[in-house]
Structure 1
Amino acid sequence: MRTSRVFYIHDPMCSWCYAFSQSWAALQQALPRDMEIVYLVGGLAPDTTEPMPPATQKMVQQAWQRIEQTVPGVHFNWDFWSCNTPIRSTYPACRAVLAAKKQRAEAEPEMIRAIQVAYYQQAKNPSLPETLLACAQEIGLDAETFSEDLKSEGIESELRQQMQQARSMDVYSYPSLRLVHLNTVFPIAIDYLDHRTMLDEIKTIESNR
């Protein structure tokens, strides 16, 4: 029985997590089949209904530009900035991922992808509940159950618990990878371009202990 687990700490509205999605998918395919993969939402930006300040908008846009320049094949729909009132709030999207998982375990990565597509490719705003509901329906979840779970104390508690677990692993930026092997936490360096460097690091840690 394998004694290791890989933790992927992310935020569904983090542009660098979107940039990492292809490399992350390749890494998952390459990992041993009995390796447990655990997703944790880190919670990038707390609840607010206030419009994103201009300085924050500029910071996010600069991140988009840097990603497009450095990660091949990753592009953003820049219409988002003219079609929406940006809101710096990612907790709703994090709750949506947890609500999806509660309804169907395999819906967790499906919801992450649906939110990323809505945000980065379709220029929709995942800070809004109507966007998250549309994502839920798109991946086949029950809309009424999803809406109720999204506002539930259980999902809020799970969000806080996962955020605290991420902090306990010394994670403060996203995406992050942690290998837990023999009850020890090892940071795995993120590689946006080649999953094999991360795979080699994981194999090295496992073989040396």
Structure 2
Amino acid sequence: MKNKLYYIHDPMCSWCYAFKKDFDNLKKKLPTNIEIINILGGLAKETDEVMPKEMQEKIQAVWHDIEKFTGAKFNHDFWKLCEPRRSTYLACKAVLCAKEQKMENEMIDAIQKAYYLEAKNPSEEVTLINLAQDLNLNIEQFTNDLRSEKIEQLFQKELSKRRELKVFNFPSLILQYKKELYPINIEYNNVNKILKQIENLSSNIYY
């Protein structure tokens, strides 16, 4: 029987972006009896309103803090070149659209690269469509799915699962064994410490 490791994230969450290298390493080192399941947490609802100046300055400061704390690199030109919006739901739906074409992780990576390194805005539909083209997805299917009721329902299921897991911060890792849930402490630049937590829990659960 496989245990489940839920990874709750948002493709436009800066801390999730900073955790990418560690998470990629963790996936390579996990025991084969653990199945990873991505859950989209939904950081911010869709809006056409420009992000307030105060919030822009706050998030810019967070990016600098993350750089110092984790070593992750950010392209700060985003704040000059783009019109920021506190809106991540559409990017989350783009991940689900790509998942329909078996390219979920590739879309997550593409959104993070576009947002944090290339100063592009994944809150914009055109950006997401361009990323889908770069990934050689079926563009007609992707574009139709992006605003479809089917994807909306799938996204709502993701949000419901996140609430069921009682997760309110991203990224989060939750190990599930049978009906029990075990939060895993996120450690940046210390994947072995994360792995040790998971291995200790897995080896000490007997029921």
Which of the five TM-score ranges fits, normalised by the shorter chain? over 0.9
* Aligned counterparts of 1:55 and 1:184: Cα–Cα separation in 2: 41
Q: Which amino acid aligns with 1:47?
A: E
Q: Write the mapping of 1:1-209 to structure 2, written as runs, cut at 5 A.
A: 1-2=1-2, 4-72=3-71, 74-104=72-102, 107-209=103-205
Structure 1: give runs of 5+ residues left out of the alignment. Answer: none
How far did 1:89 drift?
A: 0.2
How far did 1:34 drift?
A: 3.8
TM-score normalized by structure 2?
0.97
Q: Secondary structure at the match of 2:198?
A: helix
How far did 1:58 drift?
A: 1.5
**1:123-142 deviation per Cα after TM superposition (whole angstroms, max 9, x unaligned):** 00000001001111111211
Q: Which amino acid aligns with 1:57?
A: Q
* Aligned counterparts of 1:122 and 1:33: Cα–Cα separation in 2: 35
* Aligned counterparts of 1:160 and 1:62: Cα–Cα separation in 2: 31
Of all paired residues, the percent bearing the same amino acid is 45
Q: Secondary structure at the match of 2:169?
A: coil
Q: Which amino acid aligns with 1:194?
A: N
* Aligned counterparts of 1:39 and 1:125: Cα–Cα separation in 2: 23
**1:56-88 deviation per Cα after TM superposition (whole angstroms, max 9, x unaligned):** 11121111011111112x111111001011011
Structure 2: give runs of 5+ residues left out of the alignment. Answer: none
**1:39-72 deviation per Cα after TM superposition (whole angstroms, max 9, x unaligned):** 0000000010000011211121111011111112
How far did 1:111 drift?
A: 0.3
Q: Secondary structure at the match of 2:47?
A: coil
